[in-house]
Each structure stands twice: as structure tokens, then as C-alpha cells.
Structure 1
């Protein structure tokens, strides 16, 4: 091994924690390339050129889109995954990223997990919408960090394919993936009493909150169930039984044309 190879080898094996992020890598390259080079023998010049090339290679590695560190953590532009005790803990950096980036991160730490983030109403952000797979004795979970980032936890050692669909904040033009009662705390109509009132009564109170409404007629079946049918312009005397968050600042009002003795939403 010549002198250049030896220097490259040492650079490639560096464990300096200052190089754990892009700033450290750039600093390394800046230091090496800024040193004055004396006019010496061709061998000396080749050595310096080799060191600069090695530094550039190390910097490129450390600035790569994904980086596995010590087998216990991984990060890319969309997510960072760390081992914390018996769990892999993922913190989402970009909830709108390509889902493949999330899968890549989990694959890097040995977990075959497909993560899909879907738009939901404010109170459903961070909640699992659907999940499946994995083996018995291992757990999956989700939530939010104090700073609002989505957080996922997966047991270390989980086997098989795993699928998770988790709620994320919605863009203004996105419809929510799942229905949430619009009158609960944290939603756009929090605390508003709707059940049994007419459209004419509730609509001014809804619009006063800066919320728009779309309408769905509840078609009641003989067994007490119901289906929903969109209605463009319901009668002002139709009865409102509930509201579901539909997208940012818009709700679905659930109505019947006839007056009922009890809410079809109650079992």
C-alpha cells in the first residue's frame, strides 16, 4: 500500500463524531483544500492530490441522501430512524415525501415496513388508520412529538412484512382519508350542537366559523343502517344529525329529509 492509499484508508475509517453530519464533512474538505501546498517533488504533489481526492470521497459519502450509522440509526431526507431500547423509533422529517423513502429507511435497519401517510383532520394526526403484518409478540405504534413531528415505533426483531397507514396533516385542497366527528374538541365545529336541528338553524353558525358545508342525505334501511347520498341543495327544513370533517375548513353535514324520533347515528 503506497502513502496515498494509507491516507485514504485512514480517512475512510474515520469515526470522528464531527463528521456525523454534512457540516462536518464540508469542514473536513475545506481544511484539506485550504492548506498551502509547497513546491516540492512530483511524489509530494501526487500525495497532496490524493489526499484531496480522498477527502472529497469521504465528504460525498457523508453527504449522501441516506446514511447508516453503527447499525443503530439511519437518516434520509424524509425520515430518521434510531434504536431506542427495544424499539426502532422513526421521526418523520417530511410527511409529504415519496413513501419509498420511508420504506428505504426501515429496510436499512432490517425492518420490512411499508409506511403510507394519509391526510386526516387535526385530531387524527399521528394516529394509525390501518396496520397489519408482522409476527406475534411485537408491537407497532404511532403518535406525535412535542414539536409536531410524526413518530412511529416498531419492535426490534419484528419479522415479516409490515404495513402501516398513519394520519398526517392535510393540505388545504386534500380530502381527509377517514371520517372524524367535526364537533369534538380540536375540530372545526368543536362544541357545536347539531343533532335534531334544521339546516336553516345550523348553517349560519357553521359559516360564522369560516367553515363550508357539503350535504349528504342519510338513506335509512329497514334494519336501522344507512347509506349516504350527496345532495347539492337540501331543503332548509331538513334535519341535521351530525357533521364529519371533510377537508380543511369544510364539513359534511349528515341529513334526513324526514324528521325522525331518534338519531340514526346512535345505535
Structure 2
């Protein structure tokens, strides 16, 4: 299991004059969360605030009874950008330097006990940043050093942002060849233990109005990347890049999308048939000029 969490950590806005440092007051600790706090404010857990909050990632040991802090400012910024308010809305959060009180190791980051801690409460010492907005890629870059497949020597992403298949992915046949076809710095919440992409089944797209095929063409960057089909006389097709001559329209679409990319996508997702029609249509919506040979 990866140690990534994209959720709000318990925090509060109750004021306090108590600025006594915690037991680890000699170090610098940061918290990314509730916006608008000032020095002297006390951070308390979601439970203490009366907020019912459940974290659904399988295997995570998150508890709403604790406030979570980190010695890594970048990680705190990533958490701030993912702050979820009590009404369930994701809004830009703030980053604070804090003084944790009676802290313990964070079990979800058990390999990094000196960097990630949890405590019953903490006091805001200084405001570091406000209204933090980051893309998923920026968050992944900031958190790369601490996102591992159950072992510090098994990072989720390599230095170029390519996902290193987890042991579970490898057991299920999802190889490095497959992950190299995906968008760099893809959030690990978008891929499961079998290497399947959540967007392939429409998960996490409910209410967005987006076609899963449109998202697949964005995420599987190997699709529609290398070859270019043109239609010649007598209904024939030719690739202007490699010279291939597909025998019909379906074969031409598959060739331009990428034979191996389509094959792996179909195999990894256990699809009964190749999703050529929906993928080609999505690619044509994205790059009409590249697909002007395909009849509308």
C-alpha cells in the first residue's frame, strides 16, 4: 500500500493563548489545512470539532482523533491544497508552522517517523502560506520522497514521474511497459492494484460530464502519439510516419492510436473487445486535424 493520502487532516479554529511548545518544540513542524488561522490558534482533531469524517482508502490508519503534522514543508503545502471543509468542499488551505503537543509517529508514514507525526492538538506559531493551490502533478512532485510501496526503497514514482509498478501490480500482470504509457506523475489514487485506471470504468467521473474515453486519451499518453494515417485513393490508408498500410478503417484507427498501447489498455482492463470507436472519437475531439481522414 502506498502512503499517499489526499484528504483533510483534522484541524480547528478555536483560539487559545497557550503557546507552550510541545515536547519536540526544538524542531520545525508544519500543518496544511484550515485556512484563516492566526498565531496562537489551536489546531484540534476532527473528532474534537464534532466533524464526522471517514477516510476510505483501504489499509490507511488515519484516525479523526488526531491532528497530523510534518517536518516537510512541501508535504504540508500538498495537504493544504487538498483541504476539505466541514461541508465536503475542497478549498485552498493554509500552511502553518506549529508546535505539536504530545506527538506520536504517524502510522501511515511508519517508514518516516522523524518526518510525519500526529498529536492531540497543536498551536499555530507562524503562518507560512495562504490559499495554497497546486495541481496533482505538483503535489506528487512535493511528496515523491515519502510515497512508497510499503518499503522506503520502493518509491511510487521514479525521478521522471513514471509509476514504478507495485508488487501487487506486478503479480496482476501490470508491467513497467504499461506504466510508461501513462501520464507522468499520475496520482496513485487513479490506478488500482491491478494497474487499472479509475477513469476506464467512469469511476471518479460521476457528475463531471466527461466521457471516460476523453480522460483515457489524456491519461494514456502513448495513445495517438507516434503515427499519422492519411487516406489515399481507392479507399486505402497509409501511415506517413512508418509507411504501414492498414487494410481497413478500424485497422487504421488502431494503428494511429498505437497498436501496443491499445493492446495493453485492453488487456490490463480485461475488456472483451478493443474500445477503438470511443478512443478514436475522443482522440478526434482532442486533435481534429490529426483525424481529418476519419469519416464523421
Give the alignment's TM-score, normalised by structure 1: 0.27
User: In terms of Rg, which structure is larger?
Assistant: 1
Give the alignment's TM-score, normalised by structure 2: 0.25
